[in-house]
Structure 1
Amino acid sequence: MTSLTGRATPGTPAGVRPPVGGVVAVPGIGAPARQARADGYDAFLEPLLPHRDGVALLAVGGLGRRQCAPYGDLDLVLLHAGVPGIDELAAAIWYPVWDAGLRLDHSVRTVAEALSVAQDDVKVALGLLDARLVAGDPALADALTRTAADHWRRTAVRQIPHLREITAARWEAHGELAFLLEGDLKEAAGGLRDVGILRAIASAGVTDALRPAVRAAHLRLLDVRDALHQQVGRRVDRLLAQERDGVAELLGLEDSDAVLRRVAGDARTVSHALDDAFRAAARLRGGRSRVGAGPPVRRPVARDVVEHDGELVLARTAIGARPDPSLSLRVAAAAATTRLPIARATCEWLAAYCPSLPAPWPAEARAALITLLGAGPGLVPAWETCDRYGLVDGWLPEWTRMRSLPQHNPVHRFTLDRHLVQTAFEASRHTRDVERPDLLLLGALLHDVGKGLPGGVDVPAGRHVPGGGSADHSTVGAPIAEAVASRIGLPTAEVALIGRLVRLHLLLPDVATRRDLTDPVTISGVADAVGDPATLDLLHALVRADAAATGPAAWSDWKGRLVAELVARVRTALDTGALPAPPAPDPALLAEPLPVVQLSADRVAVAAADRRGLLATVAGCLALHRLEVISADASAVDGRALVECRVQPRYGLAPDPIALSADLRRAVAGDVSVNQRLRGRALAARGAGAAPRVVWHREAATDAALLELRAADAAGLLYRVACALDEADAEVRAARISTLGGDVVDAFYLVGGWPDDATRARLEAAVLAAV
């Protein structure tokens, strides 16, 4: 093997490539390749330690398990019995390893020192369970490995609670691998680190943690990591989006989504097994503390469901030749409401013997589903348990298609199936705000059921708003949701309402962020689509639940206020039939000497002498001070031009109000230096991205044509577009800015009737040139 220094090092591992980026790697994916790498490293390391009594070189970690990744670390322990010259001997081993370009984690210890560290650090104790002799004194190595394993078996039940605590902290830091688009294959919940914990629990005899499904999931996760290392050419555990296509090709999978779905399924298998193992250890610990107190008490918690030793099991009367088809749903509902886990044996029995539900469902099954969905925090773990054993597929055959389906929109944090369940959980917080909480919960579970089907896209810039005519997953999903509701046994009117909730679940946030809420056409369009106040309340609750389940980027205080304002105006229209009058301008903007500048935490208002281009000037000043414009209204009253903007800091830090106010006053007064700064900053902010697009909407406003720009987000975009429209002799009376991920959909209300083809083409060209 060639070293990084150009010297040859002894014992070249078979099939090792030359150093790449400081790392030596053996190519190949799968168990035979991992074994070959381990054999090669053994052959390289063994000659580095001359045979000597009282000294042994042990491998731990991946090399100890013979599961070496292509670019993994070497974890080595030089064990000794107090022999002299151990430091020089260690250096003679470590330096050739470093010269070979290998990453090395090393330690030098006596048996007593190693056991002492293992006593104080449970992670070290687990590491010693993988220790394997590479070279040296076998008796010394055997003394450590046997003693460490025996100590772990004797103390595991006491140490597992602490192990569970540090595992939970790691999960908190790295998230759940099953639901991440770019998860860490090793550290995230359900990853390779958790398989090591399962192996340790199994070795202690606590439970059969390494069942065949877990072993198979482990091997597949190792294969994915092998492919990731080979794709990237270095040690990396996070499966980034740009690497997934290459990983899929190396694994022989169809596409990157197939990689994500496989990883998600395997991570769920590991996570579920670890939950079971931790509970088994807790029961064992509790049983030992109850010595002499008798067997655990069985407590009925629901019909046919009993709590036994902290888990839910079936009552004896429920086990018969013809089980009730609703039994699995009733057990799931009991688990969710009591927040107790379902025993593994019970899940297996239900999966094997509980018959399919008839269509339509019996009332008892329907009631159990609503109880399950409305159970709050207990819903997600109960649903996940049932899903791991295939029970959910028996309730909802559509679930198979949605399970572990990635959502590539950057605002989503969960896979599709988990997002739907999480939305139902979030909807349970709003059940007291609506007349039909059962329909809210069911609508939440089904609202995105159209995703993953042809036409069922989720593109921020392509959502449907009144007048937009753009089909998406809500349109595709509505008939599917209606079919599910019908199969569940809802009456015809309620089936239609479920379909309407799914079809319109994007309506309120899209209109609130992209349309002028003071325009009667906006309010009447939403009121006509919704139909009645009860449906409006259901949609409002569903919007909030959907956003909370999506992720922090999907909702904000300003968006919540806009949606609430829209709901209030639409409710007035539905209740009275009258459209609310637009708000009057602030009297101070009309009375104080010009120019007038008003600043608050999220509002900027300016009044100046009536002239064209004031909106562009104000927008440019706000961009100069790192403020994003969420909405903007421009009007002229009594010879004054008024501009009112809702704003938020682009980087989270509010600007200096004195400097912002001074720049606004100078800019609207025509100060040349400020306007030059605005133009210079706007040009510097131009960036590359997908081609922008302009869409026109007819009859979307009372007195204006609506131009909608769909483009990549950039600082100063509103300023550039407003300037372009002003220079093209278009008067903007309002603008609405909707940002989702890296895209924006900016709507501009242009005063006047519907323009002719030539005018539209000219304005469109001006806007696209500005972008």
Structure 2
Amino acid sequence: MNQVRVSKQRAILDRRALAEAIARRVEDRGAPAGKGARDEVVEILRDGLDKGREELRRRLEDRPHAGHECVAGHAFLIDQMVRLIHDHVVEHIYPVGNRSEGERLAILAVGGYGRAEMAPHSDVDIAFLTPTRSAPWCEQVIEAMLYLLWDLGLKVGHSSRTPDDMVRMAKEDVTIRTALLEGRYVWGDQALYEEARQRFWAEVVNGTERQFVAEKLAERNARHKRMGDSRYVVEPNVKDGKGGLRDLQTLYWIGKYIHKVRSAAELVDVDLLTAQEYRSFRRAEGFMLAVRSHLHMITGRAEDRLTFDLQRQVAMRMNFVDRPGKSQIERFMQFYFLQAKRVGSLTGVFLAHIDEQFAQTRARKGLLAGFKARPRSVRGYRVFGGRIAAPGDDWFQKDPVRLVEVFQVAEMEGLEIEPATMRQADRDSRLITAEVRDDPRANALFLDLLAGRNDPETVLRWMNEAGVFGRFVPDFGKVNAQMQFDMYHHYTVDEHTIRAIGLLSRIEKGELAEDHPRSTRLIHKIASRRAAYVAVLLHDIAKGRGGDHSVLGEGVARELCPRFGLTDDETDLVAWLVRQHLLMSATAFKRDLTDPKTIEDFVAQVQSVERLRHLLILTAVDIRAVGPGTWNSWKRQLLGELYDAAHERLRLGHMRHGRKERVTAKKEAVRELLGEDAGLVDRHAADFGDPYWIAEPEDIMALNLRQFDSARHARDDLSVHCEVYPSRGATLVSVIAADHPGLFYRIAGGIHLAGANIIDARIHTTRTGWAVDNFLVQDPHGQPFHEPEQLRRIETAIGDALANRIELVPRLARRPLPHSRAKAFDVRPRVIVDNRASNRFTVIEVNARDRPALLNRLARALFDGQLVVHSAHVTAYGERAADTFYVTDLLGEKVDAADRIGAIEGALLEAASDRRQAELEEA
């Protein structure tokens, strides 16, 4: 966009020296078009290209943030190559003494190459201009040049057009128009280039400015949607992602198209950017160009996605280092997201100014031509055309509390903020001092905004873009652009938090009743809605500080809540919610909800129905705001079951029914579900013990009894039944087989081989020695298996595994993970053995890197340790799996001997280790 002077050009490529070397070689050979001479010319060119690239690589290593210099250097290198090749072809291969008018050729660089911004492995986009279509000499030269460029291994995007073709095609296609907008003369007939350039501006651009802006913005929006529609996705695309290079380029294209600017610096001259904003523009652009160049050099290809495995390497190359509480990767990515955020701010202001400029030139016509609408005043602000504006340039300087007020008024009135006012807020945000932060009026306004009834999410995002949010709540400023280096969280901490606030607002308005029916009901029963919003704001506020963010966050909450104006009771509630915001999900997803001790322990922590309501709502929005697909019906069901059981206990002070009454009630409910087959309950009641009747839902018991009865009549040693279980968002796999040691790990292995992931398992043994095991499984995308072929594959795989027809271990080890990028993370396995979480069972939780057949290997280790698994609960958090087992020894007792617990921990750590996985893959 701004031509960067490339220093020490001859150290990159000495064109004169190479041209002389080529001329000597041609003269020696005497046959410039022959294969031998051609190969030798290519060798000279390739040697020059390789040395030039090596010099540019060395320069980037010496100055790893010098993005502009790197891309300008690569553009210079390709310019010199194109000029050398052109001169060689027209002088040695197709020389013409006196060229006719039609034997003229101009070479243009277009696209990124036209901007003189080339990452190391970018495409070489070239346009050849010829006076007429029928130009045999031109065609020969173009063909020879292309073959030489291809021989050098360059990926060339090329076109050959006359000025007439160029004008016609540019009018029809906005992509061609954009490429030509950045057309740059490289070599050849300069007069022909000038003719084409003047015709482009006169015949294509003139009068189509509005259309071009509309098309580029539509194109940008479609690209954002394709890339995740957030600039805070944790694996961003540096080129095409939101807040990336393409967004900066779009600003330049629009400015150039409308105002004919030749460089980004001239956007200041036409009042689209201030000088300070332009400096931000250049800083963000330079950093992202450097990141992109490093990506290309590391991978050896045109790689623009900053994936987890590449983030570490780029951070190291750009000299980011670890700091207390933040790894080098998190510091690098935080800096990246701050630049992306700045791009977003610049884009908003820029486009609003474009809109204003268009509005000023739009002539009024018709009956309303003489009518001029008057702005209205709201609390001293000027409101016009759906936008709120500060009445003067010193408005915020006179009263800095207005920096909060303008956003609160915008949210309450449903207004956008005028771009000049956003620019003022950004400029004056430094006026927010400790005095302003402690001002009761400012805090009341902020709380009104946070818990606004219209659209607090959007306005808080504007407030964040302007830098006001982070200055008014410095603890939030610390998590601004804070990345979480894992595959579970999709967004930065600030973006996750703002999205969660938006979800809470939508739940309150009833917009998400289908996905969150309980939360939609409960939010209107809580005593303090503002406490709910503050809890969402603060739940992750202490991330990146090097300790338990829940504990540290509780301290932040106790400082901030009184400042915001919350009462002592509200402060205690928010502090508890922040401290315990992971309690409900950990209990629901990792513990057996049919075990009374699970509910007792959970209720002992929660202590009140009000806290329980708030915790369910906070848990729901926290999970959903993690990213697309993280909230599903399975999680909703588990959280609902935990809420209902805890609510009953809190309301009554005890469980409504004792064990005997619960079993009787369950049997009666199953009889009703079975209808004509109700007799199966009495026929098989003696086979199943009380734990079975308590543990399983009524609908699954009804299915089990029909399947069990059918299998006994048919004298089948194995019965496998699969069906979609919509209420759980999973597929139910019920296996009835003669019980024997190792049954569970073999079934788990068969299910994994069929391509399914187990998310929950309950294992039962009847008094007559039959295993009745129920598994809930999903595909790698978290969806149920529902195709008949998929269900048959599960049944066949389980049968093969139990009959020893397949070798489970090596085949499971070779199965690829759905997320192979998990290898980019250091997940150390951890085993927790807890004898207090259940009255009947020892509870073992294993945290490890998710990988093929992890559950199978852990179950095998438990089998080898002579333990009986009664239930298993499987949760995945991106690259990390958390598997929980309820076990006893062979006599049905808890495992409490210290030496045996130590042996079990060792065996499970070995089964979960990366080294063990590598050994299995090699085998």
Alignment partner of 2:759 out of 607, 615, 630: 630
- Summarize the Cα distance change of 1:166–1:730 in structure 2 as closer, same or farther, 3 Å threshold: same
More helix by share: 2
Instruction: State yes or no: 1:447 paired with 2:447.
Output: no
Instruction: Tell me the equivalent position of 1:242.
Output: 309
The answer for the alignment partner of 1:28 in structure 2 is 59
Query: Deviations for 1:95-122, whole angstroms, at most 9, x for unmatched residues?
Result: 2222232221111111121122221222
Q: Deviations over 1:335-385 (max 9, x none)?
A: 345554322321233345565474775565444334433458844443333
Aligned twin of 1:8: 41
* Matched position secondary structure for 1:291: coil
Cα distance in 2, alignment partners of residues 46 and 588 from structure 1: 77
Question: Are 1:275 and 2:275 matched, yes or no?
Answer: no
Counterparts in 2 of 1:599 and 1:675: CA distance versus 1, 3 Å? closer
Tell me by how many angstroms 1:74 deviates: 1.8
Residues 17 and 25 in structure 1, CA contact (< 8 A), matched pair in contact too: no
Q: Which stretch shifts more, 26-35 or 474-483?
A: 26-35
* Aligned match of 2:678: none
Percent of aligned pairs with the same amino acid: 24
CA spacing shift, 1:377–1:546, aligned 2, 3 Å: farther
Equivalent residue, structure 1, for 2:15: none
> 1:445 & 1:678 partners in 2: Cα distance?
55
- What is the RMSD computed on CA atoms of the aligned residues? 3.6
CA distance in structure 1 between the partners assigned to 2:201 and 2:318 by the alignment: 36
Contact 2:872–2:885, Cα closer than 8 Å, also in 1? yes
- Residue range with higher mean Cα deviation, 530-539 or 264-273: 264-273
Q: Deviations over 1:175-216 (max 9, x none)?
A: 357313322221112222222221122221385157332133
1:225 aligns with 2:286: no
Query: Of the candidates 165, 173, 176, which is equivalent to residue 113 of structure 1?
Result: 165
Deviations 1:703-727 (A, max 9, x none): 1221222233345444444444345
Give the Cα–Cα distance (whole angstroms) in 1 for the partners of residues 83 and 183 of structure 2.
15
Contact 1:333 1:369 in 2 (8 A): yes
Structure 2 counterpart of 1:45, from 72, 82, 87: 82
User: Which residue of the other structure, out of 847, 858, 861, is the alignment partner of 1:710?
Assistant: 847
* Residue 261 of structure 1, CA deviation: 2.3
Q: Report matched runs for 1:245-394 at 5 Å.
A: 245-254=312-321, 255-289=328-362, 291=364, 293=369, 297-300=373-376, 302-315=378-391, 319=395, 322-323=398-399, 325=401, 327-337=402-412, 340-353=415-428, 355-356=432-433, 358=435, 361=438, 364-375=441-452, 378-394=455-471
In 1, the alpha carbon distance for the partners of 2:746 and 2:394 equals: 74
TM-score normalised by length of structure 2: 0.73
Distance 1:15 1:335, change over 3 A: farther
The reply to whether residue 142 of structure 1 matches residue 217 of structure 2 is no
C-alpha separation in 2, matches of 1:555 and 1:329: 33
Query: Is residue 239 of structure 2 the alignment partner of residue 186 of structure 1?
Result: yes
Read off the aligned partner of 1:600 and give its amino acid letter.
E
Q: Which amino acid aligns with 2:544?
A: G
* CA distance 1:348–1:715, change in 2 (3 Å): closer
Structure 2: gaps (5+ residues): 1-17, 23-34, 61-65, 92-98, 260-269, 322-327, 509-519, 667-692, 694-700, 713-718, 725-730, 818-822, 913-923
Q: Give deviations 1:412-433, integer Å, cap 9, x for gaps.
A: 1111111111111112123353
Q: How many pairs align?
A: 746
Give, as a single letter, the amino acid of the residue that structure 2 aligns with 1:491.
Answer: T
8 Å Cα contact 1:305-1:334 kept in structure 2: no
* Aligned partner of 1:76 among 126, 129, 144: 126
Q: Distance in 1 between matches of 2:601 and 2:330?
A: 38
Amino acid at match of 2:542: G
Hey, what does 1:527 align to over in structure 2?
A: 603
CA distance in 2, matches of 1:154, 1:660: 62
Structure 1 segment 684-723 matched on structure 2, within 5 A:
684-686=811-813, 692-723=829-860
Give secondary structure in 2 for the equivalent of 1:700: coil
Query: Any stretches of 5+ residues in structure 1 without a counterpart?
Result: 456-471, 668-672
Distance 1:271 1:731 in 2: 56
Give the number of the structure whose alpha-carbon radius of gyration is greater.
Answer: 2
Give the equivalent residue in structure 1 for 2:870. Answer: 733
Task: Tell me, in whole angstroms, the C-alpha distance in 1 between the residues paired with 2:881 and 2:77.
Answer: 54
Counterpart Cα distance in 1 of 2:396 and 2:880: 57
Deviation at 1:450, TM superposition (A): 1.8
Question: Using the alignment, how far apart are the partners of 2:162 and 2:254 within structure 1?
Answer: 26
- Matches of 1:279 and 1:256, distance apart in 2: 35
Whether the 8 Å contact between 1:607 and 1:640 is mirrored in structure 2 is no
**Does the aligned pair in 1 maintain the 2:437–2:443 contact within 8 Å?**
no
Alpha-carbon distance in 2 for matches of 1:121, 1:588: 61
Alignment correspondent of 1:592 = 709
In the alignment, is residue 650 of structure 1 matched against residue 779 of structure 2? yes
After TM superposition, give the deviation of residue 514 of structure 1 in Å.
0.9
User: For 2:588 and 2:838, how far apart are their aligned partners in 1?
Assistant: 14
Question: Does structure 1 conserve the Cα–Cα contact (< 8 Å) formed by 2:762 and 2:775?
Answer: no
Distance, in Å, in 1 between the alignment partners of 2:343 and 2:217 is 15
Q: TM-score, normalised by structure 1?
A: 0.87
Q: Is the 8 A contact 1:283 1:309 kept in 2?
A: no
Shift of 1:615: 4.1
C-alpha distance 496-359 of structure 1, shift in aligned 2 (>3 A): farther
Matches of 2:382 and 2:123 in 1, distance apart?
A: 49
More displaced stretch, 403-412 vs 597-606: 597-606
Whole-Å Cα distance in 1 between the matches of residues 41 and 400 of structure 2? 72
Deviation at 1:691, TM superposition (A): 5.8
Deviates most, 525-534 or 267-276: 267-276
Q: Which moved more, 1:714-723 or 1:264-273?
A: 714-723
